Amino acid sequence: MTFIDNSDKTSPTVTVPTFSDFGLHPALVQALEGLGYQSPTPIQAHAIPVALKGHDVMGAAQTGTGKTAAFVLPILHRLMPFANHSMSPARHPVRALILTPTRELADQVYQSVKQYSAHTPLRSAVVFGGVDIQSQTEILRQGCEILVATPGRLLDHIEQRHVSLAQVGMLVLDEADRMLDMGFLPDLARIVRTLPAQRQGLLFSATFSREIRRLSREFLQDPVEIEVAHRNTTADTVTQGLYQVSTKDKRAALLQLLRDKSWSQTIVFTNTRAGAEQVARYLLRNGVAAEAIHGDKSQNERLRILDGFKNEQTPVLVATDVAARGLDIAGVSAVINFELPFNAEDYVHRIGRTGRAGASGEAYSLYDEQHEQRLLEDIQTLIGEHLPIQPALHLKPALHQRAAKRGARGTQEVADPIFHQPYRPQSDTTQPQTRHEEADKKKNKRRSLGVLLGGR
Ligand code: AMP
């Protein structure tokens, strides 16, 4: 069964359900009221009733659509009969497992679980690599009904017998497309093998690739497919456009744009870690508080940088794709693609950082016709629309000349070859923190999807 909802929320013909129409447990409705959620988003309106009935779900929803609540609320509702105040860990086995590709997303999902379960005795926990394992072990030993995890660190806990997944009745793969991109398939297979065969499966992915469809066939049973917008579309709350700029002028153009537009919080995307550092340093030199975030930074540094951005101390975050993946930061006013991504689907992910949950946002790309024409074609084909060219930026003469002068001196700064290197998404994961994460890097991410079969 497939639902496709391309409805315009403002259309008078659409009847918008309320959260209480779903028959959700009153403790959950209370939490939603406290958060000020007035009505379900389209993915929630379709996925929640289906998941509440215990069906498997394959949801295609871009980031910012409220997909986290779409799977967390049914999980919590279905776990309410098991909720108890006992101090005994044995009374709090893991019953729902939520796997995410990145630490940041794991933490965000966990925060949502805590918010939605605030008025219930259900326990939740999060485990991810890059931080001390001991404190996680102690939390796991106390027991939790809902566990949010990244695959590598979870496997370490499983192998060291810190946690048992023998009672898991619900499994969520969040941002499953990115998990495949990051080469997590073998780890997923190993985790799934430790779960009971009888379980509900919920798979969410911003985009539905052929690989995701194959994965869902292995991992879900007769799933209800739910799409809330055309596949691979971008949110219509985001204004998009292109500025035609030669590579050598991109940094000056970026600076000009940031100054002209005075956006509050802006994420600038580069294709490489080195590029992110260079751009952030350039902005800083020119008086714009910017920080780079990418996989070479430690977990603590990343959290500190994100906090600075969320608190609006640092208005500009210069990020690589994987580092920014899944970030839910309210109020990102604009996304700038310093370079077009080598992978067209990353364009959808990038601009999904703004215009979240119905807010408006702007997404502009600095486009060098000479080097990026094919990339632009791929993106436009994927999203099924043409990105409008914006009026030319009038670069301030001083900046423009400085950039040109540097070029004339022959430095590497303006035409750095790193910008033209092939894109390797898996190379942007954080430094390996565990032997599983180390091993992941060596494995061929394209290994047969059939390995997932072990779980069922
Ligand atoms: P997500 O797509 O799950 O990352 O959610 C994006 C943002 O939308 C988060 O900040 C949520 O707190 C918020 N959100 C989710 N559902 C609703 C809703 N029904 N009403 C208002 N905000 C929501």
CB neighbour list of residue 236: distance below 8 Å, 6 or more residues apart:
none
User: Cα–Cα distance between 49 and 54 in angstroms, integer?
Assistant: 9
Give the structural domain span for 344: 238-396
437, pLDDT greater than 50: no
- 415 within a domain of the structure (yes/no): no
Predicted pLDDT at 444? 35
For residues 69 and 193, state if they share a domain: yes
From 380, 396, 412, give the residue that closes a domain: 396
Asked if residue 325 has its Cβ within 6 Å of ligand 1, the reply is: no
For residues 71 and 22, state if they share a domain: yes
pTM above 0.85, yes or no: no
Spell 299-308 as b/e; 16+ CB within 10 A means b: beebbebbeb
For residues 283 and 143, state if they share a domain: no
Name the burial class of residue 405, with classes exposed (0-12), middle (13-18) and buried (19+) by CB atoms within 10 angstroms of its CB: exposed
What number does the ligand 1 atom closest to the CA of 68 have? 3
- 317 within a domain of the structure (yes/no): yes
Between 449 and 375, name the one with better pLDDT. 375
For residues 206 and 279, state if they share a domain: no
Substitution site in 111, 172, 328 for ligand 1 pocket (most atoms within 8 Å of beta carbon): 328
CB neighbour list of residue 263: distance below 8 Å, 6 or more residues apart:
315, 333, 334, 362
Average pLDDT, the chain: 81
How many Å lie between the centroid of ligand 1 and the Cα of residue 444? 35
Mean pLDDT for the stretch of residues 101-106: 90
> Measuring CA to CA, which residue among 371, 382, 386, 309 is closest to residue 347?
382
Predicted pLDDT at 429? 38
Starting at the edge strand found earlier in the chain, the sheet holding 57-60 runs: 2-4, 224-227, 57-60, 200-205, 170-173, 96-99, 146-149, 124-127
For residues 245 and 204, state if they share a domain: no
Starting at the edge strand found earlier in the chain, the sheet holding 266-269 runs: 238-244, 361-367, 334-337, 266-269, 316-319, 290-293
From 173, 206, 227, give the residue that closes a domain: 227
From 197, 227, 257, give the residue that closes a domain: 227
- 152 within a domain of the structure (yes/no): yes
Substitution site in 174, 205, 356 for ligand 1 pocket (most atoms within 8 Å of beta carbon): 356
102, pLDDT greater than 80: yes
How many Å lie between the centroid of ligand 1 and the Cα of residue 43? 11
**pLDDT tens, position by position, 130-145:** 889 999 999 999 999 9
For residues 213 and 79, state if they share a domain: yes
Tokens describing residue 57:
């779900």
Backbone angles phi, psi at 99, to 5 degrees: -105, 135
How many Å lie between the centroid of ligand 1 and the Cα of residue 210? 28
**pLDDT tens, position by position, 285-323:** 999 999 999 878 887 888 888 888 888 889 999 999 876
Closest Cα to atom 4 of ligand 1: 64
∠ CA 17-213-199, rounded to 5°: 65
Between 43 and 456, name the one with better pLDDT. 43
User: Cα–Cα distance between 300 and 15 in angstroms, integer?
Assistant: 45
For residues 62 and 135, state if they share a domain: yes
CATH code, domain carrying 392: 3.40.50.300
- 290 within a domain of the structure (yes/no): yes
- 81 within a domain of the structure (yes/no): yes
What number does the ligand 1 atom closest to the CA of 115 have? 12
How many Å lie between the centroid of ligand 1 and the Cα of residue 393? 35
How many Å lie between the centroid of ligand 1 and the Cα of residue 359? 11
Asked if residue 64 has its Cβ within 6 Å of ligand 1, the reply is: yes
For residues 297 and 156, state if they share a domain: no
For residues 71 and 166, state if they share a domain: yes
- 421 within a domain of the structure (yes/no): no
Closest Cα to atom 1 of ligand 1: 66
Domain count, the chain: 2
